Amino acid sequence: MTNTMLSRIERTRRRCDVDDLVAIAAALGVSPLALLQPVT
């Protein structure tokens, strides 16, 4: 994933697809499900 793609997702200019979610989770070293959990 490029920096431009990530920036567009952060600014809601681009939809975050499942493959994007998996790539972000892998970069952060967490499960994709962890990114979908509400903040507690």
What's the distance, CA 13 to chain centroid? 13
Residues in Cβ contact with 5 at an 8 Å cutoff, skipping those fewer than 6 apart: 14, 20
Q: What distance separates the 2 farthest-apart alpha carbons in the chain?
A: 30
pLDDT surpassing 90 at residue 40: no
pLDDT greater at residue 40 or residue 16? 16
pLDDT in tens, 2-33: 999 999 999 999 999 999 999 999 999 999 99
Residues in Cβ contact with 14 at an 8 Å cutoff, skipping those fewer than 6 apart: 5, 8
pLDDT of residue 34: 95
Q: Please give the Cα distance from 14 to 30 (Å, whole number).
A: 22
Beta carbons of 14 and 8 less than 8 angstroms apart: yes
With cut-offs at 50, 70 and 90, classify the pLDDT of residue 1: confident
